[in-house]
Amino acid sequence: MNLIKSIFGLLALLFLQIFILNNFLFDGYLNPYIYIAFILFLPPRSSVFYTLSLAFLIGAIVDVFEGGYGVHTAASVFIAFLKPLIFRIFRAGKNELSESSDVKQLGLFRSLMYVLTGLFLHHFILFSIENFALDNLLPLLMRSLYSSLFSFTFVLLYQLWNYRR
Amino acid sequence: MRYFFLLLKRSRVLLYFLLLESLAFAWIINKRSYQRSQFLSATTEIKGNFQGLAAQTKAYLNLKEENEQLARENVRLRESLDESFIFQNFGADTINSSTYKQRYTYVDAQVINSSHFKVENYILINKGRLSGLEENMGVIGPSGVVGVISNVSKHFARVIPIINPNLRISAELAQDGYFGPLRWLGENYRESSIQDIPPYANVKSGDTVKTDGRSSFFPRGITIGWVKSTRLQADQNFLEITVSLSTDFAKLRNVYVVKDLWINELDSLNMRP
């Protein structure tokens, strides 16, 4: 039952990303990417192989539909690899690990910071790959910051909608 | 061997991650042209640094032959200087020298790596962006056309030679004036072919083939080679000419990069191919 629920959640997220969010460029250049939230919200005990494969699959789907040719795939696999590390940083001081989702375990503030960090890293990696050079680093950082804040609001909205169900 | 497998097992997550990332990057580099050119420019720089040393040694060994070739070229250039001509003024006309404006300048460079046995051949030369080189500049050698620059890094540049099927330049028969695309068929590095020459053109073997100035890569009249044989194309309407190339890519060392000073003006009229 849980599996069906999460597959449905993934499909809804991808649908939202591909058919709605990708068609709008807010304020000229802000494009929210919320599909990575699915990777970030995976249970912390799930196997890394599983997470990496799933990230590859999700990124590839977004790439195929958006014509990104591998950019999203590379960025989301990277985040899937970094996820345990980011999670461990925000879990510091809390030893209890349960099978429940990250949000319940970390407390509200920490989980929000965790998601925001994950989103920022994902956007930064994504834009760096699109740039493919490390000159003009500052505009890149600013763009990642604004875009990730923007995506963050969408992720919050999505989560609210998800919890009410 | 056991430890090797142990190491493999311990770093399996990292290896799997690297595998997935390299798949994604292969996808990016194959499909996105901007990323591809950035990647090529970076690898050109690295490759150039490694091979520059080997090329220097090789150049030293070939010094005698190169000197002879350069001397021959000097003779030819000296012959075309103004002072090689007698100027006879019969009193009636004046020469307005400002009608002749310089259009092309040249940058000399050395080949530090090249291939001629592959299908997609490339040449690496030891001058780059710092010497004013840019993409789409023509490259000529002591005996004729070499190719066109495809990627530039700081100190090096990558040239697509005319023995690469991806490069097509316009070629002209010096005697008749008919022109057509020069395309390499990927077999013999001493030969290439010109398509779409009208069948009524009076082509004899031994005729000179030159650049025609229609592409802004090269000035008009740089030798490409000589006609070797002609035959009717598969569509029976045009002639295909086999050209033996004047440049021997197996022993190419000194090249000149052609800079077109009027490129911006031509670009503004969209005259570039």
Q: For residue A70, list chain B residues with Cβ-Cβ distance below 8 A.
A: 23-28, 31-32
- Mean pLDDT across chain B, nearest whole number? 82
By CA distance, what is A68's nearest residue in B? Answer: B28
Q: Best interface-test mutation with B: which of A77, A83, A130 has the largest number of B CBs within 10 A? A: A77
Closest C-alpha among A162, A57, A49 to residue A101: A162
Give the pLDDT mean for B218-231. Answer: 88
Q: Give how far A22 is from chain B: nearest CA, Å.
A: 19
Torsion of CA B52, B56, B62, B65, to 10 degrees: 80
By CA distance, what is B16's nearest residue in A? Answer: A49
Q: For residue A63, list chain B residues with Cβ-Cβ distance below 8 A.
A: 27
Distance, CA of A33 to CA of A44 (rounded, Å):
22
Which tops the pLDDT comparison, B32 or B206? B206
Domain ranges of chain A: 2-164
A63–B32 CB contact, under 8 Å: no
Domain ranges of chain B: 169-245
User: Full-prediction pTM beyond 0.80?
Assistant: no
By CA distance, what is A60's nearest residue in B? Answer: B24
B24–A59 CB contact, under 8 Å: yes
Angle between helices B12-31 and B2-10 (to 10 degrees): 70
* B176 contacts B137 by C-beta, under 8 angstroms: no
Q: Give how far A165 is from chain B: nearest CA, Å.
A: 35
Check residue B159 and give its pLDDT: 93
Give the pLDDT mean for B116-127. Answer: 86
Identify the residue whose tokens are 């999670």.
A87
Q: Give how far B194 is from chain A: nearest CA, Å.
A: 37
Q: For residue A132, list chain B residues with Cβ-Cβ distance below 8 A.
A: 34-35, 38-39
Q: For residue B30, list chain A residues with Cβ-Cβ distance below 8 A.
A: 69
By CA distance, what is B15's nearest residue in A? Answer: A49
Distance, CA of A46 to CA of B265 (rounded, Å):
62
Q: Which fold has domain B169-245?
A: Thrombin, subunit H (2.40.10)
Token pair in block for residue A56: 């590859």
By CA distance, what is A129's nearest residue in B? Answer: B35
Residue A127, class by beta-carbon neighbours within 10 Å (0-12 exposed, 13-18 middle, 19+ buried)? Answer: middle
Of the pLDDT bands very low, low, confident and very high (cuts 50, 70, 90), residue A159 is confident
Please check whether residue A74 touches B, CB under 8 A: yes
Q: For residue A81, list chain B residues with Cβ-Cβ distance below 8 A.
A: 13, 17
Distance, CA of A88 to CA of A38 (rounded, Å):
18
Q: For residue B37, list chain A residues with Cβ-Cβ distance below 8 A.
A: none
Q: Give how far A50 is from chain B: nearest CA, Å.
A: 10
Q: Count CB neighbours of B136 within 10 A.
A: 15
A132–B35 CB contact, under 8 Å: yes
Helices (H) and strands (E) in chain B, counts: 5, 12
Residue B92, class by beta-carbon neighbours within 10 Å (0-12 exposed, 13-18 middle, 19+ buried)? Answer: exposed
Out of A81, A129, A133, closest to residue B28 by CB: A129
pLDDT-wise least confident of A60-64, A83-87, B235-239, B266-270: B266-270
CA distances from A112 to A87, A162, B11, B176 (A): 12, 16, 31, 77
Of the pLDDT bands very low, low, confident and very high (cuts 50, 70, 90), residue A20 is confident
Residue positions counted in chain B: 273
Give the pLDDT mean for B89-107. Answer: 60
Token pair in block for residue A163: 């919890």
Alpha-carbon Rg for chain A, nearest whole angstrom, is 15
Amino acid identity at A94:
K
Check residue B82 and give its pLDDT: 59
Check residue B227 and give its pLDDT: 92
Q: How many CA atoms are closer than 13 Å to the CA of A121, on its beta-carbon side?
A: 21
Give the pLDDT mean for B68-79. Answer: 76
B27–A70 CB contact, under 8 Å: yes
Out of A56, A69, A73, closest to residue B32 by CB: A69
Check residue B88 and give its pLDDT: 47
Out of B20, B27, B32, closest to residue A52 by CB: B20
